[in-house]
């Protein structure tokens, strides 16, 4: 089999479709390199003294794991000097991170969840990194948070790395979804799946069932119908999976279909759901839509939401489009 490297893929994609100019290619390659470094740290585990909790909390009030901080540092350092970015933003940093004055600035802005699925780090279960790329607004001088407040439809690229039995990079630049596997001996990313398509129908769902008593009526109805199986209105049995790493759950769905949900509930209405719009929901929505799936907040397309703050949360329903349509319909009807 002829191997196609990430670099070769990016160059050829630019030649054919003109979607990956040199600066964006550099950006993607630098992020991919950073993910390789994170993968190496993840793989060392206790031997690299990277497991366990740091003594700090992030802006979301979550206790940070050592790997949350290490991964954030790796992504910041890797992306500062290349001249392709104007600013970055991260789950692990309260404010945006403009490129320091000692480096040239570029026209892109990068957002990331450096380490997704933190609760799985110490138990050796798949975790990941999620990223989203926006363009800096025309004429932007000193970047501010307001410059990042762009709907998901404005993303020029999005992707994730999943650190599982294999390390993989899944990428879209708006022309389908492709997957690269890290060749650990060679240290290179090799194209292993082209143009991934999510099956439109599915019999598999993912939700944290422990929150059931807090759900709103449309989610109660939808899940109870799935659980009723072939004795209920759906007339068929559904299976359930919940990895508690969005990256790993989405990766399963890309490969064999499924629906992933993290709904808002009746607890704290100022925090609708758990997932963050800018660096979790939007990039995953872009990838899922590019693979023929759908992503809504229950009422509208996630990528159409106009953001109002960097760390805002959003309910998420994504995956196989027929199931996303059913649960979205339950929210919007009547």
Q: Which is nearer to Mn ion, 93 or 151 (CB)?
A: 93
Q: Which is nearer to Mn ion, 115 or 250 (CB)?
A: 115
Say which residue the tokens 């059913």 belong to. Answer: 326
Q: What are the φ and ψ backbone dihedral angles of 20, each rounded to 5 degrees?
A: -130, 80
132 binds ligand AHG (CB under 6 A): no
- Is 117 a binding residue for ligand AHG by CB under 6 A? The answer is yes
CB of 239 to ligand AHG, least distance (A): 18
β partners of residue 133: 110, 157
Query: Taking contact as CB under 6 A, which single stretch among the options 41-49, 111-119, 191-199, 285-293 is the one that binds ligand AHG?
Result: 111-119
In whole angstroms, how close is the CB of 68 to ligand AHG at the nearest point?
7
CA distances 182 to 89, 94, 177, Å, are: 26, 31, 17
In the list 13, 113, 265, 289, the residue contacting Mn ion (rule: CB under 5 A) is 113
Q: Are strands 188-193 and 97-98 parallel, antiparallel or unpaired?
A: unpaired
Cα–Cα distance for residue pair 237/259, rounded to 1 Å: 14
Site for ligand AHG in 151-190 (CB under 6 A): none
Residue 61 CB, nearest approach to ligand AHG (Å): 11
Query: Which residue(s) pair with 190 in the sheet?
Result: 5, 181
Q: Is 208 in the site for ligand AHG (CB under 6 A)?
A: yes
Burial call 171-209: b when 16+ CB within 10 Å, e when fewer: bbbeebbbbbebeeeeebbbbbeeebebbeebbbbbbee
The reply on whether position 116 binds Mn ion by CB under 5 A is: yes
What whole-number distance in Å separates Cα of residue 86 and Cα of residue 306? 21
Q: Does 246 bind ligand AHG (CB under 6 A)?
A: yes
Q: Which does 169 bind (CB under 5 to 8 A by kind): Mn ion, ligand AHG, none?
A: none
Q: Annotate each residue in 74-103 with x if it binds Mn ion (CB under 5 A) or - if it does not, as one string.
A: -----------------x------------
Residues lying near ligand AHG in the complex (CB under 6 A) are found at 62, 91, 113, 116-119, 208, 244-246, 274
């Amino acid at each position: 089999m002829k191997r196609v490297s990430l670099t070769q893929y990016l160059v050829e994609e630019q030649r054919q479709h003109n979607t990956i100019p040199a600066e964006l290619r550099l950006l993607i390659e630098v992020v991919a390199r950073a993910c390789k470094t994170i993968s190496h740290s993840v793989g060392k585990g206790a031997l690299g003294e990277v497991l366990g909790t740091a003594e700090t909390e992030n802006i979301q009030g979550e206790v940070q794991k050592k790997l949350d901080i290490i991964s954030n540092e790796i992504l910041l350092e890797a992306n500062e000097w290349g001249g392709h970015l104007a600013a970055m933003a991260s789950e692990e940093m309260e404010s945006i991170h403009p490129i320091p004055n000692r480096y040239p600035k570029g026209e892109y802005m990068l957002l990331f969840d450096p380490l997704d699925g933190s609760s799985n780090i110490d138990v050796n279960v798949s975790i990941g990194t999620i990223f989203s790329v926006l363009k800096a607004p025309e004429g932007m001088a000193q970047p501010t948070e307001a410059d990042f407040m762009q709907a998901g439809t404005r993303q020029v690229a999005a992707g994730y790395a999943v650190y599982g039995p294999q390390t993989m990079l899944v990428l879209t630049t708006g022309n389908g979804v492709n997957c690269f596997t890290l060749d650990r001996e060679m240290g290179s990313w090799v194209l292993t799946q082209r143009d991934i398509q999510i099956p439109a129908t599915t019999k598999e769902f993912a939700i944290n069932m422990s929150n059931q008593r807090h759900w709103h009526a449309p989610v109660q109805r939808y899940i109870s119908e799935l659980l009723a199986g072939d004795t209920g209105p759906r007339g068929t049995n559904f299976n359930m999976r919940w990895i508690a790493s969005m990256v790993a759950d989405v990766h399963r769905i890309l490969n064999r279909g499924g629906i992933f949900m993290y709904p808002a509930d009746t607890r704290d209405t100022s925090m609708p759901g758990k997932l963050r719009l800018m660096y979790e929901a939007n990039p995953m929505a872009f990838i899922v839509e590019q693979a023929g799936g759908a992503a809504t907040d229950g009422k509208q397309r996630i990528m159409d939401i106009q953001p109002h703050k960097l760390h805002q949360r959003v309910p998420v329903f994504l995956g196989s489009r027929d199931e996303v349509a059913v649960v979205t319909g339950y929210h919007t009807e009547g």
